[in-house]
Amino acid sequence: MSEALEKLGGKIAAAQAGLLNGWSVACGELMLEAKASEIVPLLTFLRDDPGCRFTLLIDLCGVDYPERGQRFDVVYNLLSIKHNRRIRVKVQTDEAAPVPSVEGV
């Protein structure tokens, strides 16, 4: 499973390099670190790309790290029913910078 996630992470990173700050596979999960300003195009790609097809937003949550300058993580947990895979997409922000809404995606 980890090998398949590594391959998927590499594919997404190559196709969407300008939208990501990084990616990793840990504990059997693929996590993409996105630029907050690019979350809408990234999630659109993850929904529409035939190799991804992450069509279901399972969970949207926030995490507060008060010791960091960009203290908030906004975390999107996605499911591809077609490929039976889950991924996590994370963006960082602070108290002043809003994260664009993904409601339209």
pLDDT in tens, 18-74: 889 999 998 888 999 999 999 999 999 999 999 999 999 999 999 999 999 999 999
Report pTM: 0.91
DSSP three-state, residue 56? strand
Is the separation of the CB atoms in 51 and 11 below 8 Å? yes
Whether 20 contacts 87, CB under 8 Å: no
